[in-house]
Structure 1
């Protein structure tokens, strides 16, 4: 599963879970508040009914002996309803009493049950805990009874309609919140995953093309932004390091010219192309004259300076398309692509004369440096190594003929 999908699902799940929890808590709190208000209102009505009941018959015992309390309440509520019709849409008052929302407990002034509830029986003396929770019902400053509500509320149809409307509102709000969570989850999921995806892509490209620089856009100041900045810096350093390593692998550390292995690889490629398309190709092998004597007479430090300067003169007097390398020790080679030996000889002479004419007295008053060379363009020899061997033979011929010269063959 992709990172983007995981992030979107995580955001959506968190949104759904949060909406569900908040919705449930809100509904529970509304229901609890409504229940408490209903309990208070019903008990207040109960107190009024008890006072009216007792007042009608002159005392609690007299009232109980004359008429049942439920009968009195129903009759009294009907009379009130007839005198004051309820507003449109409001259920009759008698509905509230016919389906009482709570178990109503009525005690006399001494704590003896006269109307049972909660498992208590008529005539039973209640405990001190029940007495503490009971509310005194006073008539003309005298406590004539004690009342209490027991049990959970039984809601009327009107209550259920109200709570249902509240529940529907909470559900609609939750659905809207879920929709927003989904949209925000997709937006933020894509935004966060884009930064991770860009980093992943850049890492893959960096692995495949180690010498190239791959930068990612820094879009934030958070941990992902810091990671992107660190990656960009690391990528630049790694690309530079890989380039330097590659240079070390193909170049001679002293002169900066290509080394023998890289020259052989390039020469083989050029030879195959030249023979396939019947193009000219020339190879020169050169060797500094009496270089061992230079080291022994003027020091190896001077010898290294000579090699560095000779390499510089080689590069100045050859084309960018030519392959110049230090083949070993004081030996240098040049591959002239698409060039026959007559044209290559011109460059070789320029190199030889530049080395001979250089003011070597800068390094030592008695220092003189010359170069002997052999040049071959015989691609018919069958391989580039054979051409190099032939150029090497011509080099030794130049040495034997007096040095500081070019021999073509």
Structure 2
């Protein structure tokens, strides 16, 4: 195929030229087909596609004008031969064309490749109101519309300083190239849209799973909590005391168990009603929680009985905490029917430490039994007091 010279004549290709042009064209097509639409952003992807043309087709400069939401053709990116091989990029004013304006706009309007053999004399180029000086104009220029699924994506602008530089061979290659580039950009956009949809659905799924997790935790918490006092219940106690007892034995850490029973609570219920009794239980539970640490456990064991577990605490401090809880409950001033009702509690305490931690037969039931024995002793001694388990109580 002939290649036009600057003067507008024609010089024939020899067989060697044809083979070289064919190899270059195949290299360009192959390089474009190997671009990964998942890599980088759209501008980066298009820049790589333009570099393929420059590397394989001896084109001085390639630019891409993308169609924006306002239906204008905006210069997205551009690349020259010198920039490709390391020269400093020359900053140029970003150009914008209307559809139908200039050669670029005409390519977009018609959907056909527009070839300007001499930009200094071509009316399509001169009459685009861009006020170029003749010296700054390229010699020849091709504008290639990139269309996919019958929708215009943008226009590739290819220039060379020589007039009439581009041949029929270039035009045929660009027909193939623009179709491949349209598919490349379309695939990229589809992948990005799919990724965005997946991200949104993943976020929604994570939010739904988080709601399910919170709901599960709430129901588990409710199943472990006493509805009236918001304290933990007997079921929770047995799940925690076993682990606490195992840790105490393993690390030789003292462990104290308090069993607390409100004094004369049946009389309070019979005198003032169960509604007031419920108020008493809620206030007592709240007072206990305010006196213990976060690592400690407060359990409503049943009726007016509460169990408190103090972890990693010596007997002396266990006694101090128990006494503080007793005094806090005794300080409650609850009113009913203009009358002030005083509340007291008896507390039995057993602290596991020292040699007792090494007894393999010591279990949860024994732990509770010893604390209960101390509670019975507190009741027998006149109520409203703290009693520690002693050896004399064993077997009673």
What's the offset of the Cα at 1:384?
Answer: 2.8
SS at match of 1:178: helix
- Which residue matches 1:390? 370
* Number of the residue aligned with 2:394: none
- Give the alignment of 1:53-132 within 5 angstroms: none
User: Larger deviation: 304-313 or 284-293?
Assistant: 284-293
Larger fraction in strand? 2
Q: Distance in 1 between matches of 2:237 and 2:372?
A: 15
Question: If each structure's helix is expressed as a fraction of its own residues, which one has the higher value?
Answer: 1
Secondary structure class of the residue paired with 1:255: coil
By how many angstroms is 1:364 displaced?
A: 5.5
Partner residue in 1 for 2:236: 262
> How much does 1:340 deviate?
2.2
TM-score (norm 2): 0.50
Q: 1:364 to 1:253 in 2, by over 3 A?
A: farther
- Give a deviation string over 1:30-65, Cα, whole Å, max 9, x none: xxxxxxxxxxxxxxxxxxxxxxxxxxxxxxxxxxxx
Question: Alignment partner for residue 339 of structure 2, among 365, 376, 400?
Answer: 365
CA contact (8 A) 1:341 1:408 kept: no
Relative distance call for 1:202 and 1:341 in structure 2 (3 A) is farther
Structure 1 distance, partners of 2:367, 2:190, is 66
> How large is the RMSD of aligned CA atoms in angstroms?
2.9
Aligned counterparts, 1:5-404, within 5 A:
169=171, 172-197=174-199, 199-200=201-202, 203=205, 207=209, 210=210, 235=211, 238=212, 240-361=214-335, 365=339, 367-378=341-352, 379=357, 380=359, 382-404=362-384
**Matched residue of 2:341: which SS?**
coil
* Partner residue in 1 for 2:387: 407
Could you tell me whether the CA contact under 8 Å between 1:286 and 1:395 is conserved in 2? yes
CA shift digits 1:133-186 (9 cap, x unpaired): xxxxxxxxxxxxxxxxxxxxxxxxxxxxxxxx9999577424312223123312
The Cα shift of 1:395 comes to: 0.9
Shift of 1:386: 1.7
C-alpha contact 1:341 1:375 (8 A) present in aligned 2: no
What SS does structure 1 have at the residue aligned with 2:307?
strand
Once the two structures are superposed, what CA deviation does each residue of 1:257-281 show, in whole Å capped at 9, x if it has no partner? 1111112211111111110011110
TM-score by length of 1: 0.49
Q: Which has the larger radius of gyration?
A: 1
Q: Distance in 2 between matches of 1:202 and 1:390?
A: 53
Counterpart-to-counterpart distance in 1, 2:168 and 2:310: 91
Number of residue equivalences? 221
**What is the distance in 2 between the residues matched to 1:202 and 1:265?**
34
**C-alpha contact 2:318 2:351 (8 A) present in aligned 1:** no
Over residues 315-342 of structure 1, what are the superposed CA-to-partner deviations in whole Å (9 max), with x where a residue is unaligned? 1111111111111111101110001222
Q: Secondary structure at the match of 2:191?
A: helix
Q: 8 Å contact 2:257–2:307 — kept in the other structure?
A: yes
The residue number in structure 1 matching 2:79 is: none
Q: Answer whether contact 1:257 1:311 (CA < 8 A) is retained.
A: yes
Runs (5+) with no aligned partner, structure 1: 1-6, 9-25, 28-164, 211-234
Distance (whole Å) between structure 2 residues aligned to residue 336 and residue 312 of structure 1: 17
Distance 1:367 1:310 in 2: 13
| Whole-Å separation in 2 of the counterparts to 1:254 and 1:363 | 22
Which stretches of structure 1, 4 residues or more, deviate above 6 A after TM superposition?
165-168
Deviation at 1:402? 1.3
The answer as to whether partners of 2:333 and 2:340 remain within 8 angstroms in 1 is no
SS where residue 371 of structure 2 aligns?
helix
Distance 1:385 1:177, change over 3 A: farther
